[in-house]
Chains A and B, each alone.
Chain A
Amino acid sequence: GESVGLHLPTLSVQEGDNSIINCAYSNSASDYFIWYKQESGKGPQFIIDIRSNMDKRQGQRVTVLLNKTVKHLSLQIAATQPGDSAVYFCAEKTRGGGSNYKLTFGKGTLLTVNP
């Protein structure tokens, strides 16, 4: 069936380095792709999204790249900080009927930032 998955389950980086978290997807019909950050004991928090007709979007210290040819999504975090340590999920947002959107999450990547 359709799925969203992550290449690497864990990523460890030094403070100040750039981080890249990858995600593969299989549903070409998704309208948006979203990155969420989930800290321990908290719910997922929206970071950034990208519409399916775009290939790059930048936010504050984060950039999302979408490669529809190979169905690949990545999240780049610049100058990674200890506060960035969390599990990161990519999710597909797919339109159902009317205003109904469905979110399908991948497995998650644990990012650890070493001081």
Chain B
Amino acid sequence: EAGVVQSPRYKIIEKKQPVAFWCNPISGHNTLYWYRQNLGQGPELLIRYENEEAVDDSQLPKDRFSAERLKGVDSTLKIQPAELGDSAVYLCASSLIRKGAGGEQYFGPGTRLTVT
């Protein structure tokens, strides 16, 4: 079974430019997460989807970040405009959460963003 797929794997852009990341979760997983991971740090949650609904976006900087999960499968995370401080690895994860039980999260390889 394929794992979580992310693209692109690497992206270099100039500040003030837009950028988008794509995630395809594990088939059948109803919950999708976007994390940001700075160098040497653990991942930090940006947004969590249950199916197509964003149920936790409290840590998403909404002035420049946006995300969508159309049809409750693939998801896109966008930054517009990018700032130097946005350089990080953006991880997507997915899980199957059933009523009363929080499923294990499976992570993709991430997209390494460098803003110059």
Q: Which residues of B contact A (CB under 8 A)?
A: 4, 40-45, 48, 55-56, 91, 93, 97-102, 104-110
What are 26 contact pairs spanning A and B, CB under 8 A?
A41-B109, A42-B109, A43-B4, A43-B107, A43-B108, A44-B43, A44-B107, A46-B104, A46-B105, A46-B106, A99-B98, A99-B99, A99-B101, A99-B102, A100-B48, A100-B55, A101-B102, A102-B45, A102-B56, A103-B43, A103-B45, A103-B105, A105-B41, A105-B43, A107-B40, A107-B42
B98's nearest neighbour on chain A, judged by CB, is A99
Residues A43 and B40 in contact, CB atoms below 8 Å apart: no
Interface range for A: 20 to 34
Cα A20 to Cα B65 in complex, Å, equals: 39
- What is the distance, in angstroms, from A46's C-beta to the closest C-beta of chain B? 6
Cα A42 to Cα B105 in complex, Å, equals: 14
Interface presence of A89 (CB below 8 A): yes
Residues B42 and A106 in contact, CB atoms below 8 Å apart: yes
The 5 residue pairs across chains A and B that have the minimum distance between CB atoms: A105-B42, A43-B107, A101-B102, A99-B97, A89-B42
Residues B101 and A100 in contact, CB atoms below 8 Å apart: no
A94's nearest neighbour on chain B, judged by CB, is B102
Cα A100 to Cα B56 in complex, Å, equals: 9
Residues of B within 8 A of A95 (CB): 102
Residues of A within 8 A of B91 (CB): 43-44
